[in-house]
């Protein structure tokens, strides 16, 4: 599979959703990232567990980038895809060997060399040597265990710290009855290697790392991402305010602080949900700008005066709203409704909002939400 550090020619979306995000879009995570970098650089093993789509993978990829700048060798392994131990071993081997070979699928090239064929890519042969014996191995169990030893071998040969990330680590347990036992046996004796274990099934990981008698009992230090710094999902509302306001300002769109408060009320501060809603509002504003033509210098429109804009009644779903069109550049002054039948971060309620808020230039829906905003904390 493609590695996470490959160069990408196309720029990311303005509000990235659906996958790992660039470092510039990691909101309020700097302290957490620095702490993780320090601990892994010192050789500590980390456990990062939490629900999906809160930024675990994005954060750990930035951690690996910083460790690489410090001179460490890194490997990222997604444990969710392989269907057997050999498949997981191949992923680990490719990720580790890429540090020396310079290509993503080193094992495939080593197999070609072992078969007497010319590799399809230009590789550094002196670094493929470590993979040749592994490529010739036919027994799945021996192949897997040999792959588990590669991080230690690389650390011994280079004298550098090797950091390995196992994402969705709980999925590895489905590949065999004693997979975790085998992995622990090899990992615990490796000097110069640090591991970070990520996972979204918190109950499984908690048992695996905290219950006596389990394979990884007290093997890694947990770092709480969902409640870091005492904030829900680890992100302070003021960090969201600075980020959202800045991102809209880059496109010459003014967004009122009260709208950011209500936006966070609707999403509960969940990172992915907040990005999705910001993206919806961004394209809403951009679409209005394209209808009007290029925007002039940015202004802030007083919602009380509406700047002479045309106002008409409308409905969003079953809610009464007031929709107005204002001269460019326009202001988004949207009050989002609270969640129904669940917590404000319920993706279904957010999906309802996203489905309805689609074709207006600026709208106002009366309603308030929970306690994720700065206003609810007595600020603003």
pLDDT band at residue 357 using 50, 70 and 90 as cut-offs:
very low
Beta strands in the chain (DSSP E): 46-49, 73-78, 162-167, 193-199, 221-222, 254-255, 310-316, 319-325, 331-332, 363-365
Residue pair 197/205 in contact (Cβ under 8 Å)? The answer is yes
Instruction: Calculate mean pLDDT across residues 108-122.
Output: 61
Q: Which CA distances in Å does 327 have to 291, 292, 298?
A: 11, 9, 11
Calculate the average pLDDT of the chain.
74
How high is the pLDDT of residue 310? 35
pLDDT band at residue 116 using 50, 70 and 90 as cut-offs:
low
**Is it the case that residue 73 has pLDDT exceeding 60?**
yes
Instruction: Calculate mean pLDDT across residues 86-98.
Output: 91
Q: What percent of the chain has pLDDT over 90?
A: 41
Instruction: Calculate mean pLDDT across residues 5-24.
Output: 78
- What dihedral do alpha carbons 271, 276, 278, 283 form, nearest 10°? 160
Instruction: Calculate mean pLDDT across residues 191-206.
Output: 94
* CA–CA gap between residue 277 and residue 279 (Å, rounded): 5
**Dmax over Cα atoms in the chain, in whole Å?**
78
Start and end residues for every CATH 3.40.50.300 domain found in the chain: 23-230
Residues in the chain: 380
| Beta-bridge mates of residue 325 | 310
Higher pLDDT pick, 117 / 320: 117
Higher pLDDT pick, 12 / 297: 12
How high is the pLDDT of residue 253? 81
| Beta-bridge mates of residue 163 | 74, 194
The CATH superfamily label for domain 23-230 reads P-loop containing nucleotide triphosphate hydrolases (3.40.50.300)
Higher pLDDT pick, 88 / 107: 88
How high is the pLDDT of residue 297? 40
Residue pair 26/233 in contact (Cβ under 8 Å)? The answer is no
**Is it the case that residue 242 has pLDDT exceeding 90?**
yes
Which residue, 175, 353, 217, is CA-closest to 279? Answer: 353
| DSSP secondary structure letters along 146-202 | HHHHHHHHHHHHH-S-EEEEEETGGGGGGG-TTHHHHHHHHHTT-TTEEEEEEES-H
Residue pair 216/209 in contact (Cβ under 8 Å)? The answer is yes
How high is the pLDDT of residue 343? 42
How high is the pLDDT of residue 85? 95
| Beta-bridge mates of residue 46 | 196, 221
**Is it the case that residue 319 has pLDDT exceeding 50?**
no
């Amino acid at each position: 599979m493609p590695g996470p550090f490959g160069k990408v020619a196309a720029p990311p979306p303005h509000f990235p959703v659906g996958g790992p995000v660039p470092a510039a879009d990691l909101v309020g995570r700097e302290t957490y990232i620095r702490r993780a970098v320090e601990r892994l650089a010192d050789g500590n093993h980390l456990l990062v567990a939490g629900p999906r789509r809160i930024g675990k993978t994005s954060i750990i990829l930035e951690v690996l980038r910083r460790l690489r700048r410090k001179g460490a060798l890194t490997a990222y392994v997604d444990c969710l895809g392989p269907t057997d131990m050999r498949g997981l071993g191949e992923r680990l081997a490719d990720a580790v060997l890429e540090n020396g070979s310079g290509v993503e699928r080193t094992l495939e090239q080593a197999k070609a060399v072992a078969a007497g064929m010319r590799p399809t890519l230009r590789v550094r042969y002196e670094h493929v040597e470590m993979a040749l014996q592994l490529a010739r191995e036919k027994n799945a169990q021996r192949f897997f265990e040999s792959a588990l030893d590669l991080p230690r071998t690389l650390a011994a040969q280079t004298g550098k710290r090797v950091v390995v990330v196992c994402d969705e680590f709980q999925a590895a347990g489905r590949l065999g009855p004693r997979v975790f036992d085998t992995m622990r046996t090899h990992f615990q004796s490796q000097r110069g290697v640090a591991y970070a274990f990520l996972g979204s099934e918190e109950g499984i990981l908690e048992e695996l790392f905290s219950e006596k008698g389990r394979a990884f009992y007290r093997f890694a230090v947990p770092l709480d991402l969902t409640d870091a710094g005492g904030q829900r999902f680890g992100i302070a509302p003021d960090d969201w305010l600075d980020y959202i306001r800045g991102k809209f300002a880059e496109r010459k769109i003014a967004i009122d602080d009260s709208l950011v408060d209500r936006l966070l009320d609707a999403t509960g501060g969940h990172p992915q949900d907040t990005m999705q809603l910001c993206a919806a509002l961004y394209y809403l504003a951009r679409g209005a700008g394209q209808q009007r033509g290029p925007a002039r210098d940015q202004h802030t429109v007083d919602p009380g005066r509406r700047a002479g804009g045309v106002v008409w009644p409308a409905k969003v779903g079953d809610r009464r709203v007031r929709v107005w069109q204002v001269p460019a550049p326009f202001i988004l002054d949207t009050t989002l409704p609270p969640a129904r039948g669940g917590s404000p971060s319920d993706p279904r309620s957010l999906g309802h909002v996203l489905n309805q808020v689609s074709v207006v230039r600026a709208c106002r829906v009366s309603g308030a939400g929970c306690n994720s905003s700065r206003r609810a904390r007595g600020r603003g």
